[in-house]
Amino acid sequence: MTQPEFVRLEVADGVGTIRLDRPPVNALNDAMRTELVAAATEAARRDDVRAVVVYGGERSFAAGADVSELATTDLPTIVANVRRLQDSLGVLATLGKPTIAALTGFALGGGLEIALSCDFRMAAENAKLGLPEVLLGTIPGGGGTQRLARLVGPAVAKDILYTGRQVRADEALRIGLVDTVLPAAEVYPAALARAATFAAGPPLALRALKLAVDEGLEVPLETGLAIERGHFVWTFGTEDRAHGMTSFLERGPGKAEFQGR
């Protein structure tokens, strides 16, 4: 089996790190996107991975698409590739486990689209986020227009998209684009620590929570409530639910050890 060149999955203590590694700034080419799908797919299927951190290293998360590759791509190829690009980030977005993007340096273009596909975003003080595709005469194609607007609202999203500007960490925190801002050296350890708390939780219930929230955002409230009912009933039939309630009654809250069954 061929070893990945740019993206690898590292697993320790229930947490999987999807490591982006294409120096100097993790510019996203087609091979990197393919390997990202493979890493996310592996993280989804592995029982020893209960939460996921996506990390690009101390210098940069991912500084967008490899423009030299895009500039030589013809229109028929783009038509085929853009759907593949959206589908690849969809694999990360629908990964049925808690996901955290640990952002250092640049998270631009496709890099920010990867971060937007995660449940949480923890940023370094030196982070700069943006979708600068308009400066190249085009628009984001990996879900950026849709996920950004859902996260920060349409007016704020349009300002970022129309200008192509880079958003600094303090502003990103204020508008809700990121959840936490920390010194650069602390971002990855903090993301691992947060992921570890999720890894200790009930994986089936966490998956149901993620599905209920994400599916419910796309439908009217009454339909969302029906989605919630379905997931609630399903979790009630799991061994984890029975164990969690027994543990609570016998030992108090927070002491159950869940097996994912």
* Structure tokens given for 34: 């393919």
Catalytic residue among 5, 10, 69, 133: 133
227: which 2 tokens?
């989605």
Determine the angle formed by the axes of helices 239-251 and 221-236, rounding to 10 degrees.
Answer: 80
| Structural contact between residues 91 and 60, judged by C-beta atoms closer than 8 angstroms | no
Tens place of pLDDT for every residue, the chain, 261 residues? 578 899 999 999 999 999 999 999 998 888 888 999 999 999 999 999 999 999 999 999 998 776 777 767 777 777 777 777 788 888 999 999 999 999 999 999 999 999 999 999 999 999 999 999 999 898 998 899 999 999 999 999 999 999 999 999 999 999 999 999 999 999 999 999 999 999 999 999 999 999 999 999 989 999 999 999 999 998 988 988 888 788 888 887 777 788 878
Same domain? For 131 and 219 the reply is no
Whether the CB-CB separation of 99 and 77 falls below 8 Å is answered with no
Residue 208 sits in the same domain as residue 184:
no
Q: How far apart are CA 111 and CA 185, in angstroms?
A: 20
Shared domain for 30 and 142, answered yes or no, is yes
Pairing relationship of beta strands 128-130 and 106-108 according to DSSP bridges: parallel
Q: Which of 35, 113, 125, 186 is catalytic?
A: 113
Q: Which residues pair with 55 in a beta bridge?
A: 19, 102
For residue 207, being part of any structural domain is answered with yes
Query: Count of CB atoms within 10 A of residue 69's CB?
Result: 13
Provide the strand spans (E) within 119-166.
120-124, 128-130
pTM: 0.92
- Please name the residue that has the structure tokens 């596909």: 117
Q: Domain containing 54 — which CATH number?
A: 3.90.226.10
> Is residue 228 annotated as part of the catalytic site, yes or no?
no
User: Is 77 a member of any domain?
Assistant: yes
CA distance 101 to 123: 8
Q: What residues contact 123, with CB distance under 8 A and at least 6 apart?
A: 103, 104, 107, 129, 169, 172, 173, 178, 180, 181, 182, 187
Residue at token pair 């209920």: 212
**Residue 58 known to be catalytic:** no
Do 123 and 210 have their domain in common? no
Range of the domain at 27: 7-199
* 103 and 188 part of one domain: yes
Write out the E strands in the chain: 7-12, 15-20, 51-55, 62-63, 99-103, 106-108, 120-124, 128-130, 167-168, 180-182
